[in-house]
Amino acid sequence: MSIAQNLQHITEQLPAGIKLVAVSKFHPVERIMEAYDAGQRIFGENRAQELAAKAPQMPTDIEWHFIGHLQKNKVRMIMPWVSTIQSIDSTQLLQLVDKEAARIDRHVDVLLQLHVAKEQTKSGFAVDEILEAAENGAFNNLSNVTITGVMAMATFTDDMDQVASEFELVHNTFRTLREKYFASNPAFKEISMGMSDDWPVAVKHGATLVRIGTDIFGQREY
Ligand SMILES: *Cc1c(COP(=O)(O)O)cnc(C)c1O
């Protein structure tokens, strides 16, 4: 199937109001343009250099989401291009992103990444860590950043009960954060979770943004 057909197939199944991030990492600009021409406007990349190389070649009405682990020395590289950084995994990174956004007079949305998977290689705040950071005021007093929600990845497994319980934990943590710490911030409303293999489970457990690569663009060649 073509990229346009893949996109159509997915958007037909996505409930209304749930946004699709087309994860274009490792795919060339020509393939991304196929998705763009089919109407897709939100794209996700997980490597700073790759995003900074592709974005200037693409139409300016694209919303670029950064979804990978972001090293502090790469923040400046992506800042002119991103609309959302989904993968804020420390309070230090958050502070730096706010500072760099202010430096170039931009505003960015960010999601706080939660670590709920079994793999230690995945990054993000543990649930108790994020609650503690919120309690300590780490998410207040930002000038050029709006925290719009949380992001997470489930364990890479066929066990969909495991995946479902991790997504449920994300949902519950989001609710706690919203009620206790973000009640006065109506922008705090997004839950980004679900990839090609598990997005229907994620949607069932409250996802508002899904991040799909393989099911749109095919296998990546690393
Ligand atoms: C690559 C990636 C995806 C997309 O994965 P697919 O299985 O190809 O749909 C989603 N989220 C993150 C953070 C990724 O790195």
The model's pLDDT over 110-169, given as tens digits with 9 standing for 90+, comes to 999 999 999 877 799 999 999 999 999 999 999 999 999 999 999 999 999 999 999 999
Q: Could you give the number of structural domains in the chain? A: 1
**pLDDT the model gives residue 186:** 96
Question: How far, in Å, from the CA of 185 to the mean position of ligand 1?
Answer: 28
Q: Which domain holds residue 10?
A: 3-217
Output the average pLDDT for the chain: 97
Which residue's alpha carbon is nearest to atom 7 within ligand 1?
196
Q: Does residue 194 lie within any of the structural domains?
A: yes
**Residue 222 placed within a domain:** no
Contact partners, residue 206, CB within 8 Å, separation at least 6: 167, 170, 171, 174, 191
Looking up residue 49, the CATH number of its domain turns out to be: 3.20.20.10
Q: Is 43 a domain residue?
A: yes
| Ligand 1 close to Cβ of residue 67 (< 6 A) | yes
The per-residue pLDDT for range 67-90, each reduced to its tens digit, is 999 999 999 999 999 999 999 999
Check whether 221 has a pLDDT greater than 90: no
Pocket test for ligand 1, best of 27, 40, 45, 46 (most atoms within 8 A of CB): 46
149 touches ligand 1 (CB under 6 Å): no
Q: Is residue 212 part of a domain?
A: yes
Model confidence at 7, pLDDT cuts 50, 70, 90, reads very high
